[in-house]
Each structure stands twice: as C-alpha cells, then as structure tokens.
Amino acid sequence: MKCCRGTFLDTEDYANSHNGVVMKINRIGCKDGSLAKQAGLGLPAAIFVITLLSVIVVGVNYLVSGNSRSFQNEINLTRAFYAAESGAGFVLNGIYPPEEYSSYSGSVCAGSGSPVTYEFENAGLGYCTAEVTCEPITIGSDNYLTVESTGTCDEVSRTVQVRTAY
C-alpha cells in the first residue's frame, strides 16, 4: 500500500519496525494517520450496474404488462365466442324447441334486416352482447336458414354462423 510519503506498508513490516509492538493499521491510512490518495472505478462501476439493472427492470415490466393485456384480450375473445354461440343457440331453440319444452317461448329470428340483441348478465358473460340475424335461403325446393350471431365483449367480437334446413 502506498502512503503519503511514498512508502509501502504491510502489517508485518509495520509491526517489525516498532520492535514487536503491533499497532492497528487502517488499510487506507499511513503512519501519520493521513489517507492515501485513492483512484478507482468503484463509483462509476456501481452507477453503471444500477443503470443497467434499471433498464432491465423497465424492460421486464413492459413485457409483463404486454402479456397481461394479451391475456385479457384472449379471455374477451373466448367470452365473445360463447356469447355469439349462446345467441345462435337461443334462436335455434326458438326454431327447433327441445322435446321437453314443446311450447318454448324463446325468440324466433324475425328474418333478414332485423337483428335480435341479447344482453348477458351472468357471471361468465357479464357485459357481453349477442346480435343475431337470420337469412332464409331457398335452394331448389329446400329451405335453409342461415343464423349469424356476433358476440361482443369489451370491444372484442366473434361471429358464429349456422345454416340449417327447415
């Protein structure tokens, strides 16, 4: 270690130079108690590491929030699909009532141009809507009905289309 006077001190040398009396030596001190001149990379290296870690933390935070938004959109897409499927199911139950409910009072599709809207309030489809339209088609002597249902949840929509003969 270089001291202010330019001499190198070691604990052993310092103890031997005072006839076996060991004195406490500060690692950055000199015999006269003054501090040695220090020049190093400690502070700049610490600032660099802190800055680098901050950039990494911000980047990870950005990725996690992006994944969260993507996950929420996936949930809304699934909810919109089930809302559309439920709307189509309501209309088809009105056209073809189940056996146990021969006097089914469900809605029947009113025909082209006038959509039927369902608003769901249950926990799974809360705040979702389904807008259903029907389009009758005749091919030869066969009559078909195309039911198109669009489910919407939080600005995300899915469409289901069903064609049936009646």
Structure tokens at 31: 């015999």
How sure is the predictor about 81, in pLDDT bands with cuts at 50, 70 and 90? very high
Burial bucket for residue 155 (CB in 10 Å: 0-12, 13-18, 19+)? exposed
Calculate the CA dihedral of residues 105, 85, 135, 117 and round it to 10 degrees: 60
Given a cut of 90, whether residue 131 has pLDDT beyond it is yes
Length of the chain: 166
How sure is the predictor about 67, in pLDDT bands with cuts at 50, 70 and 90? confident
Q: What percent of the chain has a predicted confidence (pLDDT) above 90?
A: 34
Nearest of 160, 79, 148, 155 to residue 120 by alpha carbon: 79
Given a cut of 60, whether residue 71 has pLDDT beyond it is yes
| Whole-number pLDDT of residue 122 | 85
Given a cut of 50, whether residue 26 has pLDDT beyond it is no
How sure is the predictor about 66, in pLDDT bands with cuts at 50, 70 and 90? confident
Per domain, the residue ranges of the chain are 1-38, 72-165
Average pLDDT value over all residues in the chain: 78
Nearest of 107, 105, 134, 110 to residue 118 by alpha carbon: 107
